[in-house]
Amino acid sequence: MGTIDHYLARPAASELCETLVPRQGSGRAKFALGIKHYPAAGKGPELRQFLEERVRTDIPGRIGAHLTTQVAPPDGATFLVPHLFASLAGLDAFRAAGGRTCHSKPS
């Protein structure tokens, strides 16, 4: 069996991630919008709590989401939230609701 090296423009990157909140929601996802968050100094625990709440919140257009963090990141902590959609119309609905429900601090 051959290698994939001749198909690559540069070496593949790999990251070991820990799942903090498993997939929420249901349905077959056709599209995923991954948003990586970089916490301000000393704000990692607060950002994690905020993101955990958002992953568990129903947001228009989104059929699911989960939360991961990179294990031993070389450049500091990050949190990745892949938002899952059944269609591009779902992504549009999610973006339309984004300012109010996705990035606002919970009340």
Tens digit of each residue's pLDDT, the chain (107 residues): 568 888 889 888 888 999 999 998 888 999 999 999 999 999 999 999 999 999 999 999 999 999 999 998 888 899 999 999 999 999 999 999 874 445 555 44
Query: Burial level of 33, CB count in 10 A (0-12/13-18/19+)?
Result: middle
User: What's the pLDDT at 101?
Assistant: 46
Task: In whole angstroms, give the CA distance from residue 68 to residue 53.
Answer: 13
User: What's the pLDDT at 55?
Assistant: 93
User: What's the pLDDT at 32?
Assistant: 95
Contacts of residue 25, Cβ cutoff 8 Å, sequence gap at least 6 = 62, 63, 64, 65, 84
Residue entry with tokens 């606002």:
104
pTM as predicted: 0.81
User: What's the pLDDT at 5?
Assistant: 84
Contacts of residue 51, Cβ cutoff 8 Å, sequence gap at least 6 = 37, 67, 79, 81
